[in-house]
DNA sequence: GGTTGACCCTGACCCTACGTCAGGGTCGGA
DNA sequence: TCCGACCCTGACGTAGGGTCAGGGTCAACC
């Protein structure tokens, strides 16, 4: 007969594991010898190995108990089930592996590839990292709060960067980050951007969740703050003069 | 800004998970609004996704905390590490899958293939399932208690079944299970087996752990009990007459 | 302006599958 | 007789949350 540690060793588990299985009723308590030690039969070892085979495969102990007392048919069905679950886990882990590999590269994980492409395009056009990060935050908020507008916004944004005039304006604005707010170039920029908004039938009003992004842009640079305030003011005047149809 | 449930949704986790991360200090507590609700920034969403990417890969939360504050070099090293661990898990799950598939077939899981082959050979020779099971138990005990003798015993056992005379004797003994202990055929069997033991220079003494198996064999059949007792008795007499060299 | 349903808050206990410690008895060999 | 390696029970600890309980908020609709 086997002592508890020999018994545990046949399945490569700890003594504590065995006692736990007794406690939860998964393994029946065996006979005791004269001094109260548990003594295990070879049959118990076979049972234990079956239990561990299932447990290793991730089957909860409570379900193992039921399984071992099930009809062969149900048992076979459950096995098929468990096997499919294992395959699913394997696929998932494989997926996690590829994600882990991308961890170094930041937003690739959190945004759809089209948006990542836009951000990369901005970088390659020479847009500052600060501006790119603000843009990224705005996409993240949009994704969380208003996901159905994303496809349209992606098209718009790409169209903007396809247009050399719009791109020039965007870059000029980006460069104004450390200009003095009263630099005459800022005035020209405001005029140009206002004209652009009129031409493209846009205005500076935004869905509520983007107000935060706008306020962070303003905080980042006094020049930007002046530009945004001026544009909002002019747009407001236009709306008052020509009310919504 | 995001409410806690919107924030949780960006990473596909529950609100409780977010609060748990605050509790353990993995995520910093964000600002609160006027009514005490937590409000999350887009940057927090990026951080959360990074955390979940690691957590999904099985990294303990405590280690994630350290990782996110680590140098890029250490971080990269840890990622390599985690990736290797993932691959190991995938391999293990693949292994469990193949084991699960064998669950129906019993001893294949618990004994080395050579022994399984011996048991299968016994079955194909027509040995009763009862006897096979007793034999299996004896191998299990041997494996747990005296594993280094197994290769030799495997060779011996195969040699026995390679010998037609020994096989005949074994089968005869197996068939005697329900004979009357005083059937004259039992006497002839005892004579034959005793002769066999002398010829092969074996005796019926066993290492302690096999005594149990022998006693279970005896319990299974009165005829077997008589055979074993008689053989042990004769072997004992021989040892007394011709003491160990 | 009242109600309804979907949120949010904290605090506390529950879960699995054991690990670990405390405090004590038992066994086998030197 | 003593030591180290076993064995026993009982109880608490662990990660990563789940799930109440008991209460406040918000927005929309009637």
CATH number of the domain to which A28 belongs: 1.10.1660.10
Domain boundary among A60, A81, A101: A101
Strand partners, A2: A40
Same domain, A64 and A77: no
Q: Could you tell me if B63 and B55 are in contact, meaning their C-beta atoms sit under 8 angstroms apart?
A: no
Same domain, A125 and A55: no
A170-201: pLDDT as tens digits: 898 899 888 888 888 888 989 888 888 888 87
Residues 85-144 of B with CB under 8 A from A: 86-87, 89-90, 93-94, 96-97, 99-101, 103-104, 106-107, 109-110, 136-138, 140-141, 143-144
- A134 contact partners, CB below 8 Å, separation of at least 6: A213, A216, A217, A220
Whether the per-residue pLDDT at B146 is higher than 90: the answer is no
Domain boundary among B46, B67, B88: B67
Share of chain B above pLDDT 70, in %: 90
Same domain, B188 and B86: no
Nearest CA in chain A to B91: A90
Domain boundary among B101, B123, B149: B101
- B63 contact partners, CB below 8 Å, separation of at least 6: none
* pLDDT (mean) for A57-74: 90
Same domain, A60 and A163: no
Letter string b/e over residues B161-199, b meaning 16 or more CB atoms within 10 A of that residue's CB: eeeeeebebbbebbbbeebebeeeebeebbeebbebbee
Residues 43-82 of A with CB under 8 A from B: 43, 45-46, 49-50, 53-54, 56-58, 72, 75-76, 79, 82
Residue A105: its pLDDT value, please? 61
| Nucleic strand D within 7 A of Cβ A37 | yes
Which carries the bigger pLDDT value, residue A245 or residue A239? A239
C1’ C29 / CA A4, Å: 21
Task: Provide the H-helix boundaries in A24-102.
Answer: 42-56, 61-68, 72-101
Which of A93, A106, A119, A217 to mutate: most B Cβ within 10 Å? A93
Same domain, B130 and B19: no
Domain count, chain A: 3
Q: Does A84 touch chain B (CB under 8 A)?
A: no
C1’ D26 / CA B34, Å: 12
C1’ C2 / CA A145, Å: 30
| Alpha-carbon separation of residue B95 from A52, A68, A83 (angstroms) | 13, 21, 11
Same domain, B126 and B232: yes
Domain that holds residue B11: 1-67
Please tell me the distance from the alpha carbon of residue A206 to that of residue A215, in angstroms, as a whole number: 12
Same domain, B138 and B48: no
C1’ C8 / CA B104, Å: 52
Residue A31: its pLDDT value, please? 95
Q: Could you tell me if A142 and A150 are in contact, meaning their C-beta atoms sit under 8 angstroms apart?
A: yes
Same domain, A178 and A120: yes
Contacts of A9 in chain B (CB under 8 A): 144
Residues 153-192 of A with CB under 8 A from B: none
Which of B110, B142, B150, B209 to mutate: most A Cβ within 10 Å? B110
Mean pLDDT over each residue of chain A, to the nearest integer: 86
Q: How confident is the model at residue A209 (pLDDT cuts 50, 70, 90)?
A: low
Same domain, B214 and B143: yes
Same domain, A58 and A145: no
CA proximity to A210, closest of B194, B42, B39, B120: B42
The top-scoring range by mean pLDDT among B13-27, B64-78, B143-157, B227-241 is B13-27
Same domain, B168 and B227: yes
Q: How confident is the model at residue B183 (pLDDT cuts 50, 70, 90)?
A: confident
Whether the per-residue pLDDT at B228 is higher than 90: the answer is no
Q: Which two tokens stand for residue B198?
A: 């002398």
Same domain, A62 and A10: yes
Of A41, A57, A96, the CB nearest to B96: A57
């Amino acid at each position: 007969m086997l002592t508890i540690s020999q018994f545990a060793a046949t399945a490569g588990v700890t003594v504590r594991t065995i006692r736990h299985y007794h406690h939860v009723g998964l393994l029946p308590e065996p006979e005791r010898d004269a001094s109260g030690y548990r003594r295990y039969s070879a049959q118990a070892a076979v049972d234990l190995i079956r239990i561990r085979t299932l447990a290793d495969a991730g089957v909860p102990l409570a379900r193992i108990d039921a399984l071992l007392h099930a009809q062969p048919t149900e048992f076979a069905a459950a096995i098929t089930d468990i096997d499919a679950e294992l395959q699913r886990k394997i696929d998932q882990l494989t997926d996690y592996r590829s994600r882990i590999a991308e961890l170094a590269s930041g937003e690739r994980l959190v945004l759809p590839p089209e948006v990542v492409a836009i951000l990369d395009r901005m970088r390659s056009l020479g847009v500052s990292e600060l501006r790119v990060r603000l843009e990224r935050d705005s996409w993240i908020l949009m994704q969380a709060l208003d996901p159905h507008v994303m496809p349209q916004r992606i098209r718009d944004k790409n169209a903007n960067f396809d247009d050399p005039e719009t791109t020039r304006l965007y870059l000029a604005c980006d460069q104004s980050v450390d200009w003095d707010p009263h630099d005459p170039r800022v005035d020209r920029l405001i005029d140009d951007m206002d004209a652009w908004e009129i031409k493209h039938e846009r205005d500076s009003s935004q869905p509520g969740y983007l107000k935060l992004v706008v306020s962070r842009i303003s905080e980042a640079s006094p020049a930007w703050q002046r530009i945004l305030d001026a544009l909002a003011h002019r747009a407001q005047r236009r709306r008052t003069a020509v009310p919504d149809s």
